[in-house]
């Protein structure tokens, strides 16, 4: 899934130095449609697939490196619930997990409490924006809303605009829409997947992209697996799936 | 390194490959390697040895035998003696040995990669991910062809004894390229590795012993250019296969002219690398003793640069976004 997180109109322009996603909202200034970008494009699919597969086989991320990269993955997660059965209780639980995504013991053992790691955002339907905004009040984690006729974006344009306005006034700081960029989402459930994506980003786009301002995972179960891997890193043992607080 | 620090730098971790097994192997041979002739290890008649240097630190890794004229004669004789039986074994019979060799190289791939990096100076990423896997695939591939030989090429006959002279840039891989097809077709070989990088061929010879390859099918004679000259001029060699410099290739062509020998030459030094302006010089860092040659396909890579860090060459796609360039870089 290709998506980019944009900010409501009127926000200051985004700058690359702006690493902290909690700073003021940014606007992607965008560019005019450039037909020749597409016309000139040649992709050797087999080579791309081979290259992508080779990255993960060749990069060494063990022990402390694995732990650090998994923490980075946590910081890039849009902790997401997009279900017709969402309840305010579930959204509040999700927000609590976003504030404290990892058990304190794990953070202490890794020596990273001072990094203040949270997920990048909480991502919900418009209906839950107000609930999420209230639950996240004061902690700086933005609420992202999929307020453009998610998932297909096929509702009338005017309806989508109204939906965005409604979500913004309900407190959403980010609107998730499908344009370009890179946001792997759907089916990313394991820590291994997350690291593979981070390696891909580092290799193809560079270190500047390895942060929540330019790269996000849309996921919920991913966090649970990362937490289990980190638990294993600090204790040498895997915890049961039910051991950690639910996302 | 601390987790918090890595979190901020997002660096990769170290990926050390243990050289313990190979160091043990080299210790077992601290009195010098011998020549592999007729399925046995024999000392060179002149008892001459020379150092194989680790280009990373300039220190000797091992003592390699310098074959003399009589050693080469006996290697060619051993190959000649073994060849009829090897050919009569048939494609399927020969394939069994080639498969066995492929499997054993595969089993000990990491050892080969470490040895190749120590001896040649190339990065472990290249030896581990390119040289050794490709060498293994060549043995498997030609084992398959050996099985098909009688049905697909019913009119072909083995040549007999093949003298093979290979360079230092991909030592094991070059050996595989030369040995596997020759053996599959029913020939026996006398292989001369480059004097800088003989060790992986010698380890391969030990594997030949382990799979009980019939004596004389593969013979390894190490030494300097005089070994190649002698092999080229030998009356009882039916074919010379050479990969290396254009100059030496010309000399081999002249030496073998009129002798009736078949000849395959794969000559290098024809493919210059260009370095684009504006690249960081760190990408072109060289190292004394780093030896490497990579040939870009002529006319395919128009603008690119090569980085020769410790024998590590890499073609970067230049301003022309050539897909071929991107797929060619490692």
What is the distance in angstroms between the Cα of B31 and the nearest Cα belonging to chain A?
37
pLDDT of A68 strictly over 90: yes
The C-alpha atoms of residue A159 and residue A153 are separated, in whole angstroms, by 10
Q: What is the reported pLDDT for A181?
A: 55
Q: What number is the average pLDDT over the span B195-216?
A: 97
Q: Tell me the range of A32-36, B23-27, B309-313 where mean pLDDT is highest.
A: B23-27
Phi-psi region of A140 (alpha: psi -120 to 50; beta: other; left: phi over 0): left
Would the pLDDT of A5 be above 70? no
Choose the closest CB to A44 out of B14, B15, B323. Answer: B323
Query: In chain A, which among 144-203 make CB contacts under 8 A with chain B?
Result: 198, 202
Instruction: Give A101 or B15, the one with higher predicted confidence.
Output: A101
Window from A53-67, A211-225, B156-170, B279-293 with minimum mean pLDDT: B279-293
Average pLDDT of the residues in A48-53: 89
CB contact under 8 A, B3 and A44: no
Average pLDDT, chain B: 84
Separation of alpha carbons B155 and A2, rounded Å: 57
Mean pLDDT of chain A: 85
Confidence of residue A246 (pLDDT cuts 50, 70, 90): confident
- Closest residue of chain A to B2, computed from CA coordinates: A64
Please determine, for residue B304, whether its predicted confidence score (pLDDT) is greater than 60.
no
Determine which of B3, B18, B125 to mutate to test the interface with A (most A C-beta atoms within 10 Å).
B3
- How does pLDDT run across B25-41, given as a tens digit for each residue? 999 999 999 999 999 99
Q: Is-contact B216 B81, C-beta < 8 A?
A: yes
Q: What percent of chain A has pLDDT over 90?
A: 58
pLDDT of residue B87: 97
Distance from CA of B206 to the nearest CA of A (A): 29
A113 to chain B, closest Cα gap in Å: 9
| Spatial distance between the Cα atoms of A147 and A129, rounded to a whole number of angstroms | 10
Contact residues, A window 116-155, toward B, CB-based 8 Å cutoff: none
For the ranges A14-23, B17-26, B102-111, the maximum mean pLDDT occurs at B102-111
Q: State the smallest CA–CA distance between residue B133 and chain A in angstroms.
A: 13
Minimal Cα distance from A55: which residue of B? B330
Q: Do A112 and B129 touch (CB under 8 A)?
A: no
Comparing alpha-carbon positions, the chain B residue that sits nearest to A48 is: B327
Report ipTM (2 d.p.).
Answer: 0.82
Interface A–B counts its CB contacts (< 8 A) at 65
**Residue B278 pLDDT greater than 80, yes or no:** no
Closest Cα in chain B to A72: B7
**Of B130 and B270, the one with more pLDDT:** B130
Judged by DSSP in three states, B330 sits in: coil
Q: Among all residues of chain B, which has the CA nearest to that of A46?
A: B327
Residue whose tokens read 């070059």:
B174
State the average pLDDT over residues B210-215: 98
Q: Which of B93-97, B272-276, B292-296 is the least confident region? A: B292-296
**Which band of pLDDT confidence, cut at 50, 70 and 90, is reported for residue A75?**
very high
pLDDT computed for residue B330 by the predictor: 28
Residue B149 has a pLDDT of 94
Collect all residues of chain B within an 8 Å Cβ-Cβ radius of residue A210: 10
CA distance A46 to chain B (A): 10
Examine the pLDDT at A14 and tell me if it is beyond 90.
no
Residue that has been written with the tokens 């494609």 in this structure: B91
Task: List residues in chain B touching A: CB distance below 8 A.
Answer: 1-7, 9-15, 125, 129, 321, 323, 326-327
For chain B, say whether A102 makes contact (Cβ under 8 Å).
Answer: no
Q: Looking at CA atoms only, how far is residue A67 from chain B in angstroms?
A: 7
Identify the pLDDT of residue B275: 52
Band the pLDDT of B293: cuts 50, 70, 90.
very low
> For A70-80, what is the mean pLDDT?
95
Please write the tens of the pLDDT for every residue from B48-59: 999 999 888 889
User: Whole-angstrom Cα distance, residue B98 to residue B169?
Assistant: 24
What local confidence, expressed as pLDDT, does residue A34 receive? 86
pLDDT score of A40: 82
Please give the pLDDT value at position A143.
Answer: 96
For the four alpha carbons of A106, A109, A114 and A120, in that order, the dihedral sign comes to negative
pLDDT mean over B308-312:
32
In chain B, residues with a C-beta closer than 8 Å to the C-beta of A72 are 7, 10
Summarize pLDDT for B124-146 with one digit per residue, the tens: 888 999 999 999 999 999 999 99
Residue, of A177 and B264, whose pLDDT is higher: B264
List of chain B residues whose C-beta atoms are within 8 Å of the C-beta of residue A229: none
Nearest to B68, CA basis, from B239, B206, B224, B248: B224
Query: What is the average pLDDT across A81-109?
Result: 94
Statement: residue A52 has pLDDT above 90: no
pLDDT for position A76 = 95
Please name the residues in contact with A96: beta carbons below 8 A apart, sequence gap of 6 or more: A135, A245
pLDDT for residue A25: 52
- CB contact (8 A) between residue A68 and residue B4: yes
Is the previous residue joined to A151 through a cis bond, with omega within 30 degrees of 0? yes
**Chain B contact for A60 (CB, 8 A cutoff):** yes
Beta-carbon count within 10 A of B107 CB: 11
- Tens of pLDDT, residues B44-91: 999 899 999 988 888 999 999 999 999 999 999 999 999 999 999 999
The C-alpha atoms of residue B235 and residue B7 are separated, in whole angstroms, by 66
Nearest to A72 among B7, B12, B14 (CB): B7
**Whether the predicted pLDDT of B325 surpasses 70:** no
Per-residue pLDDT for A6 more than 60? no
């Amino acid at each position: 899934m290709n998506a980019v997180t944009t900010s409501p109109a009127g926000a200051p322009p985004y700058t690359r130095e702006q690493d902290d996603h909690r700073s003021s909202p940014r606007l992607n200034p965008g560019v005019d449609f450039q037909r020749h970008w597409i016309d000139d494009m040649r992709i050797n699919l087999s080579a791309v697939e081979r290259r992508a597969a080779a990255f993960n086989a060749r990069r060494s991320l063990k022990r402390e490196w694995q732990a650090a990269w998994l923490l980075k993955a946590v910081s890039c997660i849009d902790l997401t619930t997009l279900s017709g059965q969402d309840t305010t209780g579930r959204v509040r639980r999700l927000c609590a997990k976003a504030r404290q995504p990892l058990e304190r013991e794990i953070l202490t053992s890794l020596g990273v409490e001072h990094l203040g790691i949270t997920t990048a955002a909480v991502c919900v339907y418009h209906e839950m924006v107000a609930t999420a905004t209230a639950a996240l009040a004061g902690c700086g984690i933005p609420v992202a809303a999929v307020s453009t006729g998610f998932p297909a974006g096929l509702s009338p344009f005017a309806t989508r605009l109204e939906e965005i306005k409604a979500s913004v006034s309900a407190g959403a700081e980010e609107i998730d829409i499908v344009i370009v960029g890179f946001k792997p989402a759907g089916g990313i459930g394991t820590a291994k997947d997350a690291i593979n994506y981070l390696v891909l980003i580092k290799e193809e786009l560079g270190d500047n992209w390895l942060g929540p301002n330019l790269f996000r995972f849309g996921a919920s179960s991913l966090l649970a697996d990362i937490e289990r891997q980190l638990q294993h890193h600090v204790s040498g043992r895997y915890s049961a799936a039910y051991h950690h607080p639910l996302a | 390194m601390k987790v918090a620090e890595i979190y901020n730098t997002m660096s990769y971790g170290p990926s050390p490959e243990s050289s313990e097994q190979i160091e043990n192997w080299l210790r077992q041979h601290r009195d010098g390697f011998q020549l592999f002739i007729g399925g046995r290890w024999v000392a060179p008649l002149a008892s001459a040895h020379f150092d194989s240097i680790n280009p990373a630190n300039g220190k000797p890794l091992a003592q390699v035998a310098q074959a003399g004229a009589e050693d080469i004669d006996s290697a060619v004789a051993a190959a000649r003696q073994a060849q009829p039986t090897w050919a009569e074994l048939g494609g399927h019979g020969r394939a069994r040995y080639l498969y066995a060799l492929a499997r054993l190289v595969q089993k000990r791939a990491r050892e080969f990669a470490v040895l190749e990096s120590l001896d040649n100076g190339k990065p472990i990423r290249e030896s581990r991910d390119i040289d050794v896997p490709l060498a293994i695939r060549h043995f498997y591939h030609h084992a398959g062809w050996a099985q098909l030989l009688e049905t697909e090429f019913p009119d072909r006959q083995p040549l007999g004894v093949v003298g093979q002279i290979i360079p230092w840039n991909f030592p094991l891989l070059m050996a595989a390229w030369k040995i596997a097809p020759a053996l599959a077709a029913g020939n026996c070989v006398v292989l001369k590795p480059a004097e800088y990088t003989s060790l992986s061929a010698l380890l391969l010879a030990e594997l030949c012993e382990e799979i009980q390859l019939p004596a004389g099918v593969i013979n390894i004679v190490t030494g300097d250019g005089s070994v190649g000259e002698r092999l080229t001029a030998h009356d009882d060699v039916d074919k010379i296969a050479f990969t290396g410099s254009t100059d030496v290739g010309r000399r081999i062509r002249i030496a073998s002219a009129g002798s009736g020998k078949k000849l395959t030459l794969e000559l290098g030094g024809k493919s210059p690398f260009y370095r684009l302006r504006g690249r960081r010089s760190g990408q072109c860092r060289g190292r004394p003793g780093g030896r490497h040659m990579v040939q870009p396909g002529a006319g395919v890579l128009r603008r690119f640069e090569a980085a020769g860090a410790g024998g590590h060459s890499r073609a970067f796609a230049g301003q022309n976004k050539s897909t071929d360039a991107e797929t060619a870089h490692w």
